[in-house]
């Protein structure tokens, strides 16, 4: 997945996040999971956010966690870096 870095993925695997549902899906614009027009999708009861730049669906709770972590990192370093 392009949206989640290797380091972030390691942190997610070690955390207590639900691993029964996938963290995300890639290349979704050409599949039945296409969520371009609605901005997201619900797959087996789990909400996903559509990331247009990388054509991925990221589980909503994972997305919120990553964005909060990245905001804290920006606030502490003063450098925005690459968000996607």
d(CA 19, CA 66): 16
Can you tell me the mean pLDDT for 42-69? 90
47: left (phi over 0), alpha (psi -120 to 50) or beta: beta
Can you tell me the mean pLDDT for 60-73? 88
Can you tell me the mean pLDDT for 17-25? 83
Confidence of residue 31 (pLDDT cuts 50, 70, 90): confident
Average pLDDT across the chain, whole number: 82
d(CA 55, CA 62): 16
**CB-based contacts of 54, cutoff 8 Å, min separation 6:** 1, 2, 3, 26, 84
Task: Quote the tokens at residue 49.
Answer: 């956010």
Q: Which residue has the tokens 């991925």?
A: 56
Residue 1's pLDDT is 64
């Amino acid at each position: 997945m392009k949206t989640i870095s290797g380091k972030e993925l390691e942190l997610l695997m070690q955390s207590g996040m639900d691993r029964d549902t996938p963290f995300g899906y890639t290349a979704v614009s050409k599949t039945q999971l296409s969520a371009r027009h609605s901005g997201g999708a619900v797959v087996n009861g789990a909400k996903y956010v559509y990331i247009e730049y990388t054509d991925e669906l990221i589980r909503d709770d994972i997305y919120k966690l990553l964005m909060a972590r990245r905001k804290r990192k920006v606030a502490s370093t003063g450098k925005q870096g690459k968000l996607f």
